[in-house]
Amino acid sequence: MIPLSPQTQTSIDFAADLFRQSKHAVVLTGAGLSTPSGIPDFRSTGTGLWSSDEPMEVASLNTFRTAPEKFFHWFRPLADQIFNAQPNAAHCALARLENAGRLAAIITQNIDTLHQKAGSKTVIEMHGTMQTLTCTQCYHQVDAQVRLASFVEKGEIPHCPKCGQVLKPDVILFGEQLPQAAWYKAQQAARQCDLMLVAGSSLEVLPVAGLPMQALDRGAHLIIINNTPTYLNVRADISILEDVAVILPAIMEKVLNG
């Protein structure tokens, strides 16, 4: 167990109190929640995906349409990391809070499905999912498991079993609109909650970064746990600049076991 400072422990106790008082808590998670599982985030200096690649050149909808092999060449190492990743203590803590009735929903910017693997049930995926692929021609959708395993192992670009065209992972690329059903559910969750916890998100990507403001505008409490400050730390009831895989389990234990 990593020793925590008295100030951090006080913040954990306060966060647990807010959860116990809450009737409708919602969590917003970002890439920082999955970095302890070995999946890189996008913006960390030196290790983030965009520290070595230009996103519009490798991960845009235009690149996928005009040069899918370029996208898949960039995507293969990330797919390998996601394919083999396991939930960490932060994912498991959120799943336990949900299963105990302390958490109404998880809004996530992540595509790795680690929340579901950890046992979370109400997960709103804002940037799509790695669970399925869809044909760019006939829109036939397939399960990603077998095809991505072959892609990761052999580098074979997945093709539609019906028409033979390239299959696109159902993740949101640059230049692509957010899934409208997910966006509607996320806004509804943000507006109805009385507590929002932001975990592992720098809150730099709009429009999802605006969801905590929607919660605050309706009187909700706000907790932020992230390695670096966000634009809303000054508005948060509590902000903890620590590892989510350490802090979230500590909050969960306090909420459920006192």
DSSP bridge pairs for 26: 105, 196
At 51 the pLDDT is 45
- Answer yes or no: are the C-beta atoms of 147 and 180 closer than 8 Å: no
| Structural domains of the chain sorted by starting position, each given as residue range(s) with its CATH number in brackets | 1-39+87-127+177-258 (3.40.50.1220), 44-84+129-171 (3.30.1600.10)
25-29, strands of its sheet edge to edge: 123-125, 105-108, 25-29, 195-199, 221-225, 238-240
Q: Please name the residues in contact with 256: beta carbons below 8 A apart, sequence gap of 6 or more.
A: 96, 97, 100, 102
Q: Please name the residues in contact with 162: beta carbons below 8 A apart, sequence gap of 6 or more.
A: 135, 138, 140
User: What are 124-180's pLDDT values in tens digits?
Assistant: 999 999 999 999 999 999 998 878 888 888 888 999 999 999 999 999 998 899 999
Q: Which of 133, 135, 145 is nearest to 166 (CA)?
A: 135
Q: Which of 118, 124, 102, 114 is nearest to 32 (CA)?
A: 114
More confident of the two residues 223 and 43: 223
Query: Considering the entire predicted model, what is its pTM?
Result: 0.91
Quickly state the pLDDT bin for 234 (edges 50, 70, 90).
very high
- Average pLDDT, stretch 6-20? 97
At 54 the pLDDT is 64
Secondary structure (DSSP) of the chain: -----HHHHHHHHHHHHHHHH-SSEEEEE-GGGTGGGT---SSSTTTSGGGTS-HHHHSBHHHHHH-HHHHHHHHHHHHHHHHH----HHHHHHHHHHHTTS--EEEE---S-HHHHHT---EEETTEEEEEEEETTT--EEEHHHHHHHHHHH-PPPB-TTT-PBEEEEEPPBT-PPPHHHHHHHHHHHHH-SEEEEES----STTGGGHHHHHHHTT-EEEEE-SS--TTGGG-SEEE-S-HHHHHHHHHHHHHH-
Residues annotated as catalytic are: 127
At 142 the pLDDT is 94
pLDDT tops 90 at residue 50: no
- Average pLDDT, stretch 21-34? 97
